[in-house]
Chain A
Amino acid sequence: MAEIPPASAAEPLRLPATADEAQAVAAAQGWKIPEACLPGVVANLALLARHSAVFAAARHEDQA
């Protein structure tokens, strides 16, 4: 059994989390998200926030 050294940790970044926050980011990019998309977009932002937290962690719990 061998193990490679863990990589460096990073500071977690806050992502847009609500429909209003998502629209604000889109507006800064120069466009508007269609209303019908917002529930799915917010759900996917939540998933991305979870992934962001995982990779920013110093070491994940599933280490050997």
Chain B
Amino acid sequence: MKTALEQAAAVRSGRVRATDLAQAALARLAGDPHVAVTRLFPDRALAEAARVDALVAAGEDPGPLAGVPYGVKDLFDVAGEVTTAGSAVRADAAPAARDAEAVRRLQAAGAVLVAGLNMDEFAYGFATINARHGTTRNPYDPARLAGGSSGGSAAVVAAGHLAFTLGSDTNGSIRVPASLCGLYGLKPTHDDLPVAGTFPFAHSFDDIGPFTAALADMRAVWAVLAGRDPQAPVAEARLWALGGRFAENCDPAQAAAMAAIAANTLVLPDLARYRSAAFVITAFEGGALHRADLARAAMDYDPQVRDRLIAGSLLPEALYAAAQALRAEARAAIDATMARHGIDVLVAPATPCTAPPIADPRILIDGALSPARADLGIHTQPITFLGLPSLAVPLPRAGQLPLGLQLIGRRGGESALFACAQMLEERGVIGVTAPGDTQRNQE
């Protein structure tokens, strides 16, 4: 698979037709064995590709992502299509009148939308176990989870079907599958990238972001979505590791990488409180959002998602207010701490382990087995709570299942994250493992 930027360069130069890229991508996705694809958009894709080809033929520039096929998680509005958010509950909803803002910006940059992608119902889970479409399988080992809730978006990039996709991340739904599928995945600074036209989950934490297999593609897609280019760093980023529970629940490979790149450690004494408060805020906002539909059609929901949402809908307002008060304190404290110590980037595990088996989706947390669907986000949820941007980056893992770290920046610090990742790639600390060097070919 050529990178998105390589594909765009080939299209812009006239060496490759966007129509041919779209047709090839549609064919790959139609044959996908990972339960990652829920819908193909062939008519739209070929029309968008033809427009790009016409612009090239006329000597005009179709944009930085000219002719690059991509897919979106099933919660992005696509004009004329029902936005299901992965649920049968919304199967009869009215089709979207217009594209999500992110889709509109990508189209304006020349990208070609080809597919909708699998997710946990209403994004409530870290596993992409979907009662309607099935469980998305990890391309590195199809007997294992891809992670979630944006698991379909991760799997098609890891499988080499697409160079980039979009997902959403409320508590880790981009960073968790990026870690388990060996990809780059960005949770931006909260509210920085456009969520207009996406089906919400918990508005205090909802964000959208890209998955890519190449760091340069991540920068390019982010720039299109953000409407600005990354800034050049003024100096090498100052990295600190996050200690405490992050260090106690991680793989030795993650610990070794963190020790190699960060000389200092920051401990968040309220870490467990952050995660628990995020858990409560998510449950409250998700429950409130779905209360009317639960009253109307509770039995149409995936039972596991339904019962979590109903419980959330019963929480007292005062509990939610207390959790939000802690959030405000925590955000102010982390901003002040990073400024006081001159920290540009914090590094932490993205997931506590590699992809768990689908047949037994449990993971070890604090020495006890926990359900992966609820707890794979143990390390991403506290960062969500703080509202900081976090880039999941893959460790080089020849012959092993993928595993990632989070590079966590100051608010609005995406440029520093990209520069830091570039430096770590050049040092060989991070990087996507070539397909032939992994267990991917076991399938």
> Which residue of A1, A10, A40 contacts B326 across the interface (Cβ within 8 Å)?
A10
Contacts of B369 in A (CB 8 A): none
Contacts of A30 in B (CB 8 A): 295
Hey, what's the 0/1 contact readout for A26-41 against B, CB within 8 Å counting as 1? 1001111110110011
Tier of interface size on chain A: 35 or more
Q: Do A33 and B310 contact each other (CB < 8 Å), given the known contacts A13-B318, A15-B316?
A: yes
> Which residue of B269, B291, B308 contacts A63 across the interface (Cβ within 8 Å)?
B269
CB distance from A54 to the nearest CB of B (A): 4
When C-beta atoms are compared, the residue in chain A nearest to B271 turns out to be A62
Contacts of B270 in A (CB 8 A): 4, 6-7, 59-60, 63
A40 near B307 with CB under 8 A, answer yes
Tier of interface size on chain B: 35 or more
Q: How far apart sit A28 and B6, CA to CA, in the bound complex (Å)?
A: 58
Verify if B264 is at the interface (C-beta below 8 Å from A): yes
Contacts of A63 in B (CB 8 A): 244, 267, 269-270
Residues 217-270 (chain B) with a chain A CB within 8 angstroms:
240, 243-245, 248, 264-270
Verify if B178 is at the interface (C-beta below 8 Å from A): no
Q: How far apart sit A38 and B329, CA to CA, in the bound complex (Å)?
A: 35
CB distance from B329 to the nearest CB of A (A): 4
Q: Do A8 and B311 contact each other (CB < 8 Å), given the known contacts A1-B267, A40-B303, A51-B279?
A: no
Residues 273-290 (chain B) with a chain A CB within 8 angstroms:
273-277, 279-280, 283
CB distance from B324 to the nearest CB of A (A): 11
Verify if B16 is at the interface (C-beta below 8 Å from A): no
Contacts of B333 in A (CB 8 A): 4-5, 7
Hey, what's the 0/1 contact readout for A47-64 against B, CB within 8 Å counting as 1? 110111011110111111
Verify if B312 is at the interface (C-beta below 8 Å from A): yes
B322 near A56 with CB under 8 A, answer yes
Contacts of A25 in B (CB 8 A): 314
Q: Do A37 and B310 contact each other (CB < 8 Å), given the known contacts A10-B325, A63-B244?
A: yes
B280 near A52 with CB under 8 A, answer yes
Q: Do A44 and B311 contact each other (CB < 8 Å), given the known contacts A4-B268, A55-B276?
A: yes
Q: How far apart sit A54 and B275, CA to CA, in the bound complex (Å)?
A: 9
A1 near B319 with CB under 8 A, answer no
Q: Do A36 and B269 contact each other (CB < 8 Å), given the known contacts A16-B314, A29-B313, A56-B322?
A: no
Contacts of B273 in A (CB 8 A): 7, 54-55, 57, 60
When C-beta atoms are compared, the residue in chain B nearest to A60 turns out to be B272
A4 near B334 with CB under 8 A, answer yes
> Which residue of A7, A31, A54 contacts B291 across the interface (Cβ within 8 Å)?
A31
Interface centre among B264, B275, B313, B336 (most CB of A within 10 A): B313
**A-B contacts, 30 listed (Cβ < 8 Å):** A1-B264, A2-B341, A4-B268, A4-B269, A4-B334, A4-B336, A7-B270, A7-B326, A8-B329, A10-B326, A15-B314, A25-B314, A26-B310, A29-B291, A29-B313, A33-B310, A37-B307, A40-B304, A41-B310, A44-B283, A47-B311, A48-B312, A50-B276, A51-B276, A55-B276, A55-B322, A60-B269, A60-B271, A62-B248, A63-B267
- B positions within 8 Å CB-CB of A: 240, 243-245, 248, 264-277, 279-280, 283, 291, 294-295, 298-299, 303-304, 306-308, 310-316, 318-319, 322-323, 325-326, 329-330, 333-334, 336-337, 341
Beyond A13-B319, A64-B269: 8 further Cβ-contacts under 8 Å? Answer: A7-B330, A34-B299, A44-B308, A44-B310, A51-B280, A54-B275, A54-B276, A55-B322
